[in-house]
Amino acid sequence: MPQKEKSNPLSRRSFVHFSAAATAATALRFVTEPMLAWAEAGSAAKDAVLINANENPLGPCSAAREKISAMIPEGGRYQFNLTDELVQTVARLENLKPEYIGVFPGSAGPLHFAVLAYTSPTKSYVTADPSFEAGMHSAQVTGARVVKVGLTKTYAHDVKAMLAAAPDAGLFYICTPNNPTGTLTSHSDIEYLLENKPKGSIVLVDEAYIHFCDAESAVDLVKADKDLIVLRTFSKLYGMAGIRCGLAMGRPDLIAKIHDFGSWSAQPVTAIVAAIASLNEAGLVAERKRVNATIREETFQWLARNGYTYIPSQSNCFMLDAKRSAKNAAAAMATQNVVIGRGWPVMPNWVRITVGTRPEMEQFQAAFKKVMDGAVVGRVQSPPEDSSQNLDGVRVSSVLRG
């Protein structure tokens, strides 16, 4: 019986359209979470507690590690069929048609490509403040106005204020759970945004941290053919930050427009097999969600007992009031061999903390208490900079929460 011919992704979608837009895309230096995290932290000792980049200290699950090891001898082949297998696996689990799914090395690529595709000097990029900053950097290429809108009093995206602030919007970026606050924006708010957004604009929902919580995904809106793209990554709960695998889910025409600006026809085969194994590992998400939530809540209880102020999170990171500049707090923590996350200009005295292992969080607690008690101090060479305000060529408009 003849074997069924395996599909080739190159026959379904183009690699790169060599247009002026593609030229701009290739000139863009992607800004990612690790770049932002380590730009602030600098170097760290090998034995340092690293709770600065929203990584998962558990790493890939055992099944993923086994698949990576077994794949190494086959690394000399492109193996496009493996990418097809990942697409089929996601399609089955999410009840989506395969053509609604794009595969990338992480989710930073499709985030940047979406900004390139849907914003311009006349179509603004709209985001929350604070939120993940990477998309703002892509606006340097498109010349789009960046509109930053303060979160609500419950730290959700203020979708009504976002709509009011940018009637010229090309793309609304919604990160839920939000990076850095770990807080949720409701499904109903996303629906409201879709129903009231300017014609021709899209909503980009970044679900990098969705697996850590019980919130409803926006994938059902993809199935309903709405004007949105949902991003997922294996870098967080699945512990594959250094291995690189991510997804973009949306209507085929929306995904195709992202691929017009850039695509990887050949995926890292070790990442693909690790992703497939992770998705097929029964109980993995529930167990890792439980581990993260347990350690996070223990940390919150300790913070509360000691009178420290934090934002309750449903993710693997949270914001903590350090009562001093974020850079000074980070420098002081570094003297204790604990590397914490950066601050955001709109919250200059708050720092982002990644939830690590229980021993790591115990070391964090001891170090943070010393900093807050004044037993250790940090020294920085220069005052904190608002990197979002110093992006060459980016027009930034801010709308603060009342």
Q: Work out the average pLDDT over 42-66.
A: 91
Res 11 pLDDT > 50: no
**Percent of the chain scored above 70 by pLDDT?**
83
Per-residue pLDDT tens over the stretch 281-292: 999 999 999 999
pLDDT-derived band at 209 (thresholds 50, 70, 90) equals very high
- Distance (Å, rounded) from C-alpha 232 to C-alpha 247? 5
| Global confidence as pTM | 0.88
Name the CATH topology of 62-280.
Aspartate Aminotransferase; domain 2 (3.40.640)
Length of the chain: 402
At residue 394, the pLDDT reads: 56
- Distance (Å, rounded) from C-alpha 117 to C-alpha 22? 10
User: How does DSSP assign 31-65, residue by residue?
Assistant: --HHHHHHHHH----TT-EEESS---TT-S-HHHH
User: How does DSSP assign 302-337, residue by residue?
Assistant: HHHHTT--B---SSSEEEEE-SS-HHHHHHHHHTTT
Q: Does domain 33-58+284-372 have CATH number 3.40.50.970?
A: no
Res 387 pLDDT > 80: no
The closest alpha carbon to 280, from 63, 113, 99, 104, belongs to 63
Type of residue numbered 40: E
At residue 43, the pLDDT reads: 61
Given phi > 0 = left and psi -120 to 50 = alpha, else beta, which region is 68? alpha
Q: Work out the average pLDDT over 66-94.
A: 97
**Percent of the chain scored above 90 by pLDDT?**
78
At residue 34, the pLDDT reads: 56
Would you list the domain boundaries of the chain?
33-58+284-372, 62-280
- Nearest 5°: the CA angle 374, 376, 381 is 110
DSSP, collapsed to helix, strand or coil, labels residue 385 as: coil
Per-residue pLDDT tens over the stretch 244-255: 999 999 999 999
Q: Work out the average pLDDT over 254-274.
A: 88
Quick count: other Cβ atoms within 10 Å of Cβ 308? 17
Res 128 pLDDT > 80: yes
